Structure 1
Amino acid sequence: MTFAQYDARALETLDAMSKKYKSIPAFEANLAYTLTNDTEKVNEEFKGKITVKGDKYRLVLPEQEVINNGTTVWTYLPEAKEVNIDSYDPNSDEINPSKIYETYKKGYKYLYLQDKTEGGVLCEEIDLVPEKKDAQYFKIKMFISKKDKSVQSFTMFDKSGNRYKYTLTKFNANANPADSYFTFDPKKYPGVEVIDLR
């Protein structure tokens, strides 16, 4: 059993990956999202799309959309015709998709494991382990492309045996979404019930 630490090799790769994403004003990517739990025999896969611009992001999955403009989070459930509105807390333990490339900087130990091919791309496999024992996820496994330092996939492991894996494909670094794309306008969704949790 290797104890998680602050591994210099992992840090070098993570810093290069972080620098790459910070230099991109906005990006879009297709997303494959897999939830597995071996004990519960769960294996679900969804396809979606993520758009990120600075602190803002919009995550579109078949059953929900999550929109965050940096201060407010809207969770839209098309089938239920409802949207939940909440304040965004940048200090919460929630993993923010627009900040996955910075997650390691605060509250995590990191360890380089091996070079491994993931989705046909040679990657460095790096584990992030939270310093807090009661963290929501006990590990985040990242596969970072050796060639261009892009994130190929990341998997979050929680204590109840769930594994949430996000794989990024069709990465577009030249996206130019309008700021309005990162807010939810109920007028455009007739009949939607607004639940304000703020």
Structure 2
Amino acid sequence: MKKYIFSVLIALLSLPVAAQQQSQAKAVLDKTAEAFRKAGSVKISFTAKSISNGKVEGTESGTIQLKREKFLLKTSEMTTWFDGQTQWSYLSRNDEVNISSPTKDELQQINPYTFLYMYQKGFSYKLGSVSSFRGKAVTEVILTATDRKMDLSSLILYVAKDTYEPLYILLQQRGQSARSEITVTDYQPRQNYPDHLFAFDRKQYPNAEIVDLR
């Protein structure tokens, strides 16, 4: 009985600390999202790793151009456009374009920066212990999905303390040992990108096969 009462007291005493952690972590996310909004749009160069059971299964480099929820993602094998509703994915090896209307979970897998406008719902947050990354002072924020139906179970983010730019993102899928790690190698704010940049242009790929998956 005494042990039970002691455990309850410890739990109650830890509540204010947990609440403070949640508040501080959300403040970092709010400032990161605000910095993104003020930039108008950004271009990010990155290196992504797929890791399974502690081993690197694959590495890919590319760029992503962002404007609010819109994006243009380019890697060596694929180019993906998303205009906020429709997604086009061009596979260079097949000269094929797949058209779809992605779900929120699918967008999180393709564009990890969806956290910039989705984190306020469906996640709890806390601060981590990492304070530096590649020679820069950072704040580590750990986001955990509160909805068990979400494919994404957690996301770890390193944010630069001086600019609130995301420098590193780790994505953990639910029920899987594999994870994805994304390291930002260059971050270029830009005032604005034209909307047509985020839509597939048939004229640039006249011979590509169109596969409509909607």
TM-score (norm 2): 0.82
Q: Deviations over 1:97-154 (max 9, x none)?
A: 4533233211000110124212221111111000012321211010111121111111
Q: Among residues 87, 90, 93, which one is paired with 2:105 in the alignment? A: 93
1:45-64 residue pairs with structure 2 within 5 A?
Answer: 45-64=59-78
Could you tell me which residue of structure 1 aligns to residue 85 of structure 2?
A: 71
Contact 2:49 2:56 in 1 (8 A): no
- Partner SS state of residue 194, structure 1: strand
Report the Cα offset of residue 48 of structure 1. 0.2
Which amino acid in 2 is paired with 1:52?
L
Q: Deviations over 1:145-171 (max 9, x none)?
A: 112111111110122211111222221
- Partner SS state of residue 70, structure 1: coil
1:1-198 residue pairs with structure 2 within 5 A?
Answer: 7-38=22-53, 41-89=55-103, 92-94=104-106, 95=108, 96-158=111-173, 159-174=175-190, 176-198=192-214
Q: Distance in 1 between matches of 2:23 and 2:192?
A: 35
Contact 2:125 2:144 in 1 (8 A): yes
Q: Distance in 1 between matches of 2:47 and 2:191?
A: 19
After superposition, the Cα gap between the structure-2 partners of 1:55 and 1:103, relative to the gap in structure 1 and judged at 3 Å, is closer
Contact 1:35 1:163 in 2 (8 A): yes
Report the Cα offset of residue 77 of structure 1. 0.6
Q: Deviations over 1:34-83 (max 9, x none)?
A: 111126x4431111001012221001011111110112100111111111
Q: How many residues align?
A: 193
CA RMSD of aligned residues (A): 2.1
Which stretches of structure 1, 4 residues or more, deviate above 4 A after TM superposition?
none
Report the Cα offset of residue 87 of structure 1. 2.0
TM-score (norm 1): 0.88
Hey, which of these two has a bigger chunk of strand by percent?
Answer: 1
Q: Distance in 2 between matches of 1:43 and 1:93?
A: 22
Q: Which runs of 5+ in 2 are unaligned?
A: 1-13
Contact 1:34 1:46 in 2 (8 A): yes
Q: Which runs of 5+ in 1 are unaligned?
A: none
Q: Distance in 2 between matches of 1:54 and 1:9?
A: 24
Q: Deviations over 1:2-55 (max 9, x none)?
A: 9xx66111111111111111112111111111111126x443111100101222
